Amino acid sequence: MIFSQAKVCATPGVQEAERAALYRWVEGNMAVQWWRCWRGHGAFTGVIDAVCGVNRRPVTAGARGTGAGCLLKEVLLPVRHTHNSIRPSAFTGYRSRYLSPVSRSCCCCRIHSDAKLKDPFSLAQEDLTNLYEDIKKQLLVSRVELKALCDYYFDGKGKAFRPMIVVLMARACNIHSNRDGDLLPAQRSIAMISEMIHTASLVHDDVIDGADIRRGKTTINEVWGERKAILAGDFILSAASMALARIGNTSVVSVLSQVIEDLVRGEFMQLGSKENESERFKHYLEKTFKKTASLIANSCKAVSILVNSDPEVHEIAYQYGRNVGIAFQLVDDMLDFTSCANQLGKPSAADLRLGLATGPVLFACQQFPELHSMIMRRFGSDGDVDRAWRYVLESDGVEQTNFLAQRYCHEATRQISRLQPSPERDALIRLTELVLNRDK
């Protein structure tokens, strides 16, 4: 990959040295690169992730107001040859000079117009048949109440989003490795384990957040109380660990054990806020990876390990899961401002009420600097939630979050396209579009 530097055009009020390019693309680490932003006086104020670019095309950017917006005017992204040509004007809008708003339609799938994009849900349906019943067998206990708690969310009404990605990735890696593509029993076990770890984390999150609604139904902690909810989450994790041990592959055990560590670290990160404005976005994306994307990334890597010894294949699977996982959470954070509670399955503005500054809020800070003080007090003063909500909707925060999610999906598509063609690989490409266009 050819390395390139960010090109910053002349901007009034910015010193010549500060207009120098400070950005460098590093291949294989697309998710932790940052745009440098300046105040009108030239003081460094923030870092904004601008990763996952796959076209070296100029992107217009700039500042709103004085003293708070980024003055970055033009960035050159690394070039990739694609079937569609993205013109600079495609990213130019009437509202934003920071990152231009784009529509929510996905352009990821157009990168590979030759791919016959398959419906991921249909392709994975047979592999996921009886998934929740098999999970319940892993949670078999004699105590009636504990069984009821553990089975509460495994009612077969979930989207099974993570298991679906895992089985599609498994089959895609199997075909890439010159196998017949059939799912290995251990690979399906990983799909089950990923859903068990995810569900256990939801149970614990609901206790921490004091949530009363999850997936459109009353939470476990509301029905049975916090103590029993914590124990139920612990038991689900223990059952997942036992299922993982039965796979008998030490590399897989190591990879999936990292997920649990990341979940804990991510929750601790969410409990705090960065005082330094320039570190907040990096903190937010790192927390997003640990709490959401690590499970998908490492589960995808685990199924690739079972069938292929090539580290490059493992990295492809990991990077696809990582980028799709971050994009999924970015869209989720965006929906907290654009969807009603009935669609989302939880009260809207839930993140603000929990004191969390997500992507739309952090982008809105560029236009409404008064949000910074609200973030530091975690929206705890009277009227903070309503004012922050209004500022986000009046800014380009939602559009910029969507734009960033599209960049992550672009990178996920680029990574998975390195595997041999297969219906499952094409379904994973299609999935990036579904992630961007979901409304719940």
pLDDT value of residue 340: 65
Residue type for position 3: F
> What is the count of structural domains for the chain?
2
Residue 130 inside a domain? The answer is yes
Residue 106 inside a domain? The answer is no
pLDDT value of residue 38: 27
Are 51 and 184 within one domain?
no
pLDDT value of residue 88: 30
Q: Say which residue the tokens 């294949």 belong to.
A: 313
Are 358 and 416 within one domain?
yes
Q: Which residue has the higher pLDDT, 118 or 256?
A: 256
If you average pLDDT over residues 119-137, what whole number do you get?
92
If you average pLDDT over residues 287-296, what whole number do you get?
97
Chosen domain end from 41, 75, 100 = 100
Domain that holds residue 59: 1-100
Chosen domain end from 56, 81, 100 = 100
Residue type for position 143: R
Q: Kindly report the backbone phi and psi dihedral angles of residue 396, in degrees, each rounded to the nearest multiple of 5, phi listed first.
A: -95, 20
Residue 53 inside a domain? The answer is yes
CATH number for the domain spanning 251: value is 1.10.600.10
Q: Does residue 184 register a pLDDT over 70?
A: yes
Are 36 and 137 within one domain?
no
Q: How far apart are CA 228 and CA 232, in angstroms?
A: 6
Write down the pTM of the prediction: 0.75
- Helix (H) or strand (E) holding 218, with range, is strand 217-218
Beta-bridged to residue 37, according to DSSP, are 46
Other C-beta atoms within 10 Å of 234: how many?
13
User: For residues 407 and 52, is the Cβ–Cβ distance under 8 A?
Assistant: yes
Are 65 and 160 within one domain?
no
Residue 11 inside a domain? The answer is yes
Secondary structure (3-state) at 301: helix
Chosen domain end from 74, 100, 126 = 100
Q: Does residue 361 register a pLDDT over 50?
A: yes
In this structure, what token pair is assigned to residue 375?
A: 């973030």
Q: How far apart are CA 154 and CA 327, in angstroms?
A: 25
Are 342 and 233 within one domain?
yes
pLDDT value of residue 107: 39
Q: How far apart are CA 168 and CA 117, in angstroms?
A: 13
Q: Of 222-236, 245-259, 347-361, give the lowest mean pLDDT range.
A: 347-361
Residue 105 inside a domain? The answer is no
